[in-house]
Structure 1
Amino acid sequence: MDLKSNIIGVHHVSIKAIDVDSTLDFYKNLGFEPVHQWSLPDFNLEKCVMLHHKGINFYLEICDNNADMPTQGRKRKPDDEYIENALLHLCFVVNDADTARKQALVYGAKDLSKGVSELDLSDETKIVRVKNSLVYGLNGEVIEFLEKVDFN
């Protein structure tokens, strides 16, 4: 079996949280529910929680900030607004990008897009119109709210 046929889906994205409990509350407000919690003393991991969103069948893993786990880039400093690394953003499909952005702001997110953007993404064969909004999550993670779109 080659790698192409061995990959059967996406399971989760993991976030190192500055404040685990506040981050959990934020994502619970977005519809995620805790399904498992653990610690790994060998990795200095005191608290890690796996969340699941039934509506989109997606998992999100939230780990405490002290965990000694492999990550991209350097550890975020308290005054840093964000750290650029290989993970660009989390993207959730929504019915209304502006409503999702405004709800996330109420839950503690910071505005990144200052409203809804409508963009035409084109190549030689077609144009795909996307409508989205962006926020920073509680840990600086970029969250995109994308209205339903067909890239096919």
Structure 2
Amino acid sequence: MSTSRLHSGFDHFAIRAHDFEATVRFYREALGFTVAYEWTSPGVVSRSAFLDCGNGTFLELFDPGDTVPGGPDRHAHAAPAPTDEQRAAHNALLHICLRTDDVDKAYAHALQHGAREMQAPADLPQTGLNESPDVTIRMAFVYGPDGEVIEFLRRPDFPGENQ
């Protein structure tokens, strides 16, 4: 029996950048993303960009004044500004995860470039279910410049992952 996928994987994740230039700088300097494409749509979007994550997926940034699909109608700079914890708790997107061979280094580098600590690097044993093996992962979390939660993860490949 032939099965075809309805999609070919994630294309991008989108966030509202409260300070557009600072957000672009953070993702370029702290995480090594590159600007792939910038655009404006007069009357709809004042400024947006796709940042290349390096593996065919992108992070899409929207200027704070824009109301984007899936975003709140409230202007990004309306007072009082929400805390990182409030932003993280009220978003459907729980976090952006970046796979790395060195969680500690990625975490420290992000903090040096303006990220805020959420959870320091730690090992987490996981008990496999339904024939999945027990594994230990290493992970850490930071808050990005717009309150987004960024996870750094080192984990073993899943069975059949790179086939």
Range class of TM-score, shorter chain: 0.7 to 0.9
Q: Whole-Å Cα distance in 2 between the matches of residues 115 and 146 of structure 1? A: 9
- Structure 1's unaligned 5+ residue stretches are none
Q: TM-score, normalised by structure 2?
A: 0.80
Q: TM-score, normalised by structure 1?
A: 0.85
| Letter of the 2:26 counterpart | F
Identify which of 64, 78, 81 aligns with 1:78.
81
| 1:111 Cα offset (Å) | 0.6
Q: Whole-Å Cα distance in 2 between the matches of residues 74 and 128 of structure 1? A: 42
Q: Whole-Å Cα distance in 1 between the matches of residues 72 and 40 of structure 2? A: 23
Q: Whole-Å Cα distance in 1 between the matches of residues 12 and 155 of structure 2? A: 21
Tell me which residue corresponds to 2:63: 64
Q: Which moved more, 1:67-76 or 1:20-29?
A: 67-76
Q: Whole-Å Cα distance in 1 between the matches of residues 127 and 13 of structure 2? A: 25
| Letter of the 1:147 counterpart | R
Contact 1:111/1:135 (<8 A) preserved: yes
* Residues matched between the structures, number: 147
Identity fraction in percent: 30
Displaced runs of 4+ in structure 1, greater than 4 A? 72-77
C-alpha RMSD of the superposition: 2.0
- Structure 2's unaligned 5+ residue stretches are none
Tell me which residue corresponds to 2:113: 107
The structure-2 alpha-carbon separation of the partners of 1:146 and 1:21, relative to structure 1 and needing over 3 Å to count, comes to: same
Deviations 1:28-83 (A, max 9, x none): 0111111211112332x2110111133x3321111111112122567465142232
**Of Structure 1 and Structure 2, which has the larger fraction of its residues in strand?**
1
Q: Whole-Å Cα distance in 1 between the matches of residues 95 and 22 of structure 2? A: 19
Secondary structure, aligned partner of 1:116: strand
Q: Is 1:33 the counterpart of 2:38 in the alignment? A: no
Contact 1:128/1:150 (<8 A) preserved: no
Q: Whole-Å Cα distance in 1 between the matches of residues 22 and 94 of structure 2? A: 22
Secondary structure, aligned partner of 1:100: helix
Contact 2:36/2:52 (<8 A) preserved: yes
